[in-house]
Structure 1
């Protein structure tokens, strides 16, 4: 049986690519590593932010949908993203930075047994900074041109929160299918790790009855978990089939290959390969500077660019 090495990326919905670009680059200090389009609907941007190269485990991605409405929060949804920072001193730095930039945030607190600060972007996407204590994504690389000092930069994704009506069903998928370890459990919450002791593959599952979330701007579309290569992806495709879970089948996204499936609460998971990565069509020093299209869309570049509103830099 293969192991899941951690999170790969997480994908959200934004109403405004320019505002989104400003917040994640100039407030959070992440690198915009890829400007591309939704391959299933090339009329919308797909933006990726992360470390220097957009390493697996560091990527936050956004689909721009200008007409999208507000999110009506509820259950059966991915509800929070943990982002790792190096130290308690980093939390102090970020608290002051959030105050400087007018970012909605909490006081210092704890989350999933770690020192933390909760915050939201301008569209209400809920996130939490977590002290990593050295547990950053193993291959994370400093972004030298970030507006955030290297000693306080976000070091990738940590705990991802999912809120569901049927906690035991999601727990079974994580532990029995994917081999996650359950490290704590109460009636209201369970915590799972893909690699025991490591936060960069951690999923926090909360129980909540009631209406399902209605997605909109600032909502989380899906979580992608990592596999190393094509053969591992094929293995997981077979495992899903054997357990009766319909999937998308393997899809070539050019920057990685992946498949999609929903567990019994309706949470959408993607399983994505580590490679070839975002440098397959660009040099490291120029990542994210222009619109990149996979080869099968390159012939439509003129049409695609005509339908995209330029991203304002401010």
Structure 2
């Protein structure tokens, strides 16, 4: 049976690309590993951040939609993204984000220390002290002793968690804890192995927009295992897309029973297929089927201004 080995990436929606780069690269110290476009709507940027090479499990990505409405938090969404930082790093990060005028709150959850705050588009973010066997990007703006090691996990908001939990069991996730309305699941893997499900019948349905998570992608090794997953999900009655070529990986998409958009993405081929590791993220990259439209696409894309 094919397995997933944690989260591959999380994709959210931001307002402007420049503000997004200033926050996630300059403040959080992640590497901008790919500057491309939304393949389904190439008049908007798609930005990828991660470790030195953008390995699965370290990636957070953004569609830049400057004219979109603000998202509304609710059920059927991932309500927050959590990054892993080394134990003893919370004070460093509280000071770092505080100097940018960002209000942050230190809390404990499942006996772990974490710092929660909002990104520039009101996206909910968390830094969790955790032992994760990954290395930060050496060229980042944060002291490597405290730098982000990759994704820790995400929190999903659903009206009722039972059917979501059943699907997670099929995907190889095991229940490991419960606190009030929060149910924790984990899968054997590297970074991004934690998934929290919050049962929130008090909330109305969420609305996708600026400051919200668009989808959560899970890792699978290759195309063969991905095809197995597609068959398994279809047998469960889920509406699964065909395999889509995303150039840096292949993807299938479906909505889990609680309404959150899930993706299963292959680990490869990775981000060095169209530019060398040393210069990842420096130039606009397009898939070969959009390359004939490069002049038109570059003309229509907004200029990136850094704040």
TM-score of the superposed pair, with normalisation by structure 2: 0.96
> In structure 1, the residue corresponding to 2:192 is in which secondary structure?
helix
* 3-state SS of 2:268 partner: strand
Which residue does 1:193 correspond to in 2? 186
Q: Verify: 1:283 aligned to 2:280, yes or no.
A: no
Q: Cα distance, 1:141 vs. partner?
A: 3.9
- Report 1:154-173 matches (<5 A): 154-173=148-167
- Which structure has greater helix proportion? 1
CA deviations on 1:179-212 (whole Å, 9 max, x unpaired) are 211112366221111118x772110001111311
Q: What is the alpha-carbon distance in structure 2 between the residues aligned to residue 69 and residue 302 of structure 1?
A: 28
2:262 is matched with 269
1:135 is aligned to 2:135:
no
Report the equivalent of 1:21.
Answer: 21
Deviation readout 1:90-118 (Å, 9 max, x if unpaired)? 11110110111112211x22134311111
Aligned length: 306
Aligned positions of 1:1-314 closer than 5 A: 1-88=1-88, 90-106=89-105, 108-132=106-130, 134-136=131-133, 140-175=134-169, 177-185=170-178, 188-195=181-188, 200-209=192-201, 210-314=203-307
What is the distance in 2 between the residues matched to 1:267 and 1:142? 29
Q: Which 4+ stretches in 1 moved above 2 angstroms?
A: none
Q: Are 1:193 and 1:199, in contact at CA under 8 Å, matched by a contact in 2? A: no
CA distance in 2, matches of 1:278, 1:32: 11
Distance 1:223 1:112, change over 3 A: farther
Between the aligned partners of 2:94 and 2:178, the Cα distance in structure 1 is 30
**Structure 1 residues 112 and 219, CA gap change in structure 2 (3 angstroms):** farther
* Structure 2: tracts of 5 or more residues without a match: none
SS at match of 2:115: strand
List runs of 5+ in structure 1 lacking aligned partners: none
Residues of 2 paired with 1:112 and 1:305: CA distance?
47
Q: Is the 8 A contact 1:250 1:257 kept in 2?
A: yes
